[in-house]
Amino acid sequence: MKHRLAPGSLLLWLAPLAFLGLFYFFPLGSILQISFARMGDHQGMPLIESLASSSVQKVLGFTLWQAVLSTLITLSFGLPGAYLLARFTFRGKSLLQALAGIPFVLPTLVVAAAFNALLGPRGWVNLALMDLFNLAQPPIQFVNTFGAILVAHVFYNTTIVLRIVGDFWSHLDPRLGQAARVLGATPWQVLTHLTLPLLLPAIASAALLVFIFNFTSFGVILVLGGPKFATLEVEIYYQTISLFNLPLAATLSLFQLACTLGLTVIYTQLSARLFQPLTLRPQRFTQRRLTTWRSRLAASVMIVALLGLLTTPLLALGLRSFVSAAPASSAQDIQAQLTLDYYRELNTNRRDSLFFVPPSTAIAVSLAYACATAFLALMLGLPAAWSLAYNTRSLLNRILDPILMLPLGTSAVTLGLGFIVALDQPPLDLRASPILIPLAHTLVAFPFVVRSLTPALRSIRPRLRHAAAVLGAPPGQVIRHIDLPLVGRALLVAATFAFTISLGEFGATALISRPEYPTVPVMIYRFLSQPGELNYGQALALSTLLMVTAAGGMLAIEHFRIADVGEF
């Protein structure tokens, strides 16, 4: 069958394409043009030389290796958790879901501080072991190791698997597996021949997002990995900021974009065959209570594992923010010095700085940017997801679908410099405008919205729309009364992703934010970049406030969700 350019698809793509053209391709093209202009008459040589360089090849190899390994570990840890949240109901489930989403909000600097507070040389675990066994040196060497990178990546990305796979899994009709068991299938056969094939679209979507985040990892590698480890993103940052070698940085950025585009092309080709309309049911029919002691034991182990990984570093960070600046030699000494000094100092402008901003203002600015980002991402992502879901054979969709993922694979440093270079003339002179921040955040959140909504839209059975059309409902009523109620939960998940991504985004924001309108991550970076125990403590205190704000927002989403909105 020949592919065709559907007029409806083109109309749905107008706003997303205009946005990507103005705020992605234009700034990126501008900075790449300036970078390659410095090459003179030998524009092909940097590309050839960089790819042939042993140091660059080492960076590429490590980038791929750590991304693959981190993704596999995240899936192996997240899928059992997704099953628990999808198929069972138990006390504290909403709280567990909210807590699991907090790591995804936090900037990498906060995560590094959290793991330092837990497992660093002066962290709680090392101090306790040194005091217990009377050791002179910390026994656990966690920071600046490959293990720290893997643990931090799993810490960050497990919530992606829990949300995307768990949400889709929670609506799969359990009667399919029951019918297979009646026909003689073993539990393993049901899992491998029925459940996993049905879940494969959601697993592929989650794995792709996790891999891209690991592939473009920057803060985790830079802070927790140390100088021994470097990904493409770290190398781009080093070449741009430290050496100002824009040609090499541009070459590496193009290679990073090519890898991302190749991955998304493969993904879209597979997803076109995998996503099928399914019989999906409300959670009240698919979930059951933990009745047997074995199920309760297994659930308890999984809950403890999830909470241990996802909350222990955060608890260590929060507790450390209440520790005074006085020196301590043991864990007991630290516990005796709990105080609110760091929180009081947040509102004190000791240096009478003109750029001093109280934390309440920074939190308000971050929340405003996050709300604007969620709104823009939904307004742009919903039409694109609709086109991808309903016009699967459209040539336009097959071309544009992989392009949506390019912002995730683009260096934040390159894109931030592109904003500064390109958006400096009317009518797009936005360098001094606060709107530039949510626009940059929307570039990152937009692909998440599309990937969250497309599986839900594709899973709606066509006969529901056909029946409504036969009964005389126009297309607008079909969308309003059938499609939107069925994908309400997916809309909520997509908005949550967009909101949380904006709340914790740091890379691009650090380059383009205005000093009088800082976000919370930018303020945390300011404190961490200044020496002294007092600045470090204020950074921990502000990080704790960010965690509490994020936790409150996610708990509100879980608590105020209308019972059957988005239920299939």
Q: List pLDDT tens digits, range 329-387.
A: 444 554 446 778 888 877 776 666 666 777 778 888 888 999 999 999 999 988 888 88
Residues 6+ apart with CB under 8 A from 217: 66, 67, 149, 153, 231, 233
| Rg from Cα positions in the chain | 25
What are the contacts of 528-536 at 24+ separation with CB within 8 A?
A: 528/109, 528/113, 533/325, 534/325, 534/342, 534/345
pLDDT at residue number 567 = 36
Q: Cα–Cα distance between 381 and 385 in angstroms, integer?
A: 6
Q: How far is CA 248 from CA 44, 134, 257, 403, in A?
A: 11, 51, 14, 23
- Among residues 446, 407, 419, the alpha carbon closest in space to that of 512 is found at 419
Within its chain, how far is the Cα of 365 from the centroid? 20
Length of the chain: 568
Asked if residues 549 and 363 have their Cβ atoms less than 8 Å apart, the reply is yes
401 burial type by CB count under 10 A (0-12 exposed, 13-18 middle, 19+ buried):
buried
For residue 375, the model assigns a pLDDT of: 93
Helix (H) or strand (E) holding 289: strand 288-289
Between 293 and 338, residue with greater pLDDT: 293
DSSP E strands, 27-123? 88-89
Q: Which band of pLDDT confidence, cut at 50, 70 and 90, is reported for residue 96?
A: confident
Q: Cα angle at 190 between 186 and 192, to 5 degrees?
A: 115
Cβ atoms 248, 174 nearer than 8 A = no
Cβ-Cβ contacts under 8 Å for 236 (sequence gap 6 or more): 249, 252, 253, 256, 411, 413, 414
Give the separation between CA 56 and CA 67, rounded to whole angstroms: 16
- CA 362, CA 523: separation in Å to the nearest integer? 8
- Residue 288: helix, strand or coil by DSSP? strand
Tell me the pLDDT tens digit for each residue of 37-77. Answer: 655 555 555 556 666 677 778 888 899 999 999 999 999 99
Write the pLDDT tens digit of every residue in 145-165.
899 899 999 998 998 898 888
Is 7-560 in CATH node 3.40.47.10? no
And the tokens for 172? 């799969």
Q: What is the mean pLDDT of residues 542-553?
A: 78
Q: Are strands 88-89 and 288-289 parallel, antiparallel or unpaired?
A: parallel
Which H/E stretch holds residue 297?
helix 293-320
Q: Is 299 exposed, middle or buried (0-12, 13-18, 19+ CB in 10 A)?
A: middle
pLDDT band, very low/low/confident/very high, at 425 (cuts 50, 70, 90): confident
- How far is residue 274's CA from residue 510's CA, in Å, rounded to a whole number? 39
